[in-house]
Amino acid sequence: MIYARLTPLAQRLPANVPFVGPEAQERVLGRPFKARLGANENVFGPSPRAIAAMAETEMWKYGDSESVELRAALAELHGIAPENIIVGEGIDGLLGYLVRLLVGEGDAVVTSEGAYPTFNYHVTGFGGVLHRVPYRDDHEDPARLFAKAAEVDAKLVYLANPDNPMGTWHEGAALARALDDLPQGSLLLLDEAYIECAPEGTAPELSADDPRVIRMRTFSKAYGLAGARIGYAIAAPELITAFHKVRNHFGLNRAAQAGALAAVQDQSYLKEVQTKIAEARRRIAQIAEENGLSTLPSAANFVAVDCGRDGAFAKAVLDALVARGIFVRMPFAAPQNRCIRISCSTAEELDHFAAALPEALADARGA
Query: Mapping DSSP to helix (H, G, I), strand (E, B) and coil, where does residue 88 land?
Result: strand
With a cut of 70, say whether residue 60 has pLDDT above it: yes
% pLDDT > 70, the chain: 99
Mean of per-residue pLDDT scores for the chain: 97
pLDDT bucket at 4, cuts 50 / 70 / 90: confident
- Give the fold, CATH level 3, of 20-45+268-366: Aspartate Aminotransferase, domain 1 (3.90.1150)
Topology given in CATH for the domain delimited by 48-265: Aspartate Aminotransferase; domain 2 (3.40.640)
Convert the pLDDT of each residue in 340-364 to its tens digit. 999 999 999 999 999 999 999 999 9
* CB 235, CB 94: distance < 8 Å: no
**pLDDT attached to residue 157:** 98
Closest CA to 196 of 217, 174, 172, 212: 217
Cβ neighbours of residue 342 under 8 Å, at least 6 residues apart?
A: 37, 284, 302, 303, 304, 305, 328, 353
- Contact between 307 and 321 (Cβ < 8 Å): no
> Does residue 2 carry a pLDDT above 70?
no
For 156-183, how does the pLDDT look when each residue is reduced to its tens digit (9 = 90+)? 999 999 999 999 999 999 999 999 999 9
Q: Report domain extents, the chain.
A: 20-45+268-366, 48-265
Q: What is the pLDDT of residues 11-56, one digit of tens each?
A: 999 888 788 899 999 999 999 999 999 999 999 999 999 999 999 9
Query: In whole angstroms, what is the distance from residue 192 CA to residue 244 CA?
Result: 22
Beta strand 108-112 pairing with 129-133 = parallel
Nearest one of 67, 123, 72 to 95, comparing CA atoms: 123
pTM over 0.85: yes
